[in-house]
């Protein structure tokens, strides 16, 4: 398996959140049971698909996002750039 998923995990996390919110909204709005069931099954299918593609580590990344500043994001300065900006 490749180290990088086919679809970015952040995008999959957004889809999972939207699907869950739609499921809660459907229950709250009193939509028909088949609609709620379809949305709930979609919410369950997303993590299952992630496990099938990337296993446990990718599922953990989906459900427990890493917080904090990443230095590989391109937004951080190298030590030389930081020194130059401070002077």
12-50 pLDDT, tens digit per residue, is 999 999 999 999 999 999 999 999 999 999 999 999 999
Q: What is the pLDDT of residue 72?
A: 57
Determine the Cα angle at 12 with ends 6 and 16, to 5°. 150
Q: What is the pLDDT of residue 66?
A: 74
Percentage with pLDDT > 70 across the chain: 71
C-alpha 60/C-alpha 12 separation (Å) is 13
For the entire predicted model, the pTM comes to 0.68
Phi-psi region of 78 (alpha: psi -120 to 50; beta: other; left: phi over 0): beta
Q: What is the pLDDT of residue 29?
A: 96
């Amino acid at each position: 398996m490749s180290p990088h998923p086919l679809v970015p995990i952040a995008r999959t996390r957004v889809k999972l959140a939207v699907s869950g919110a739609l499921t809660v909204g459907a229950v709250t709005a009193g939509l028909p049971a088949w609609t709620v069931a379809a949305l709930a099954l979609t919410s369950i299918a997303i993590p299952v698909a992630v496990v099938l593609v990337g296993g446990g580590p990718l599922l953990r990344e989906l459900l427990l996002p890493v917080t904090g500043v990443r230095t590989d994001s391109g937004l951080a300065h190298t030590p030389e750039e930081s020194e130059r900006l401070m002077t």
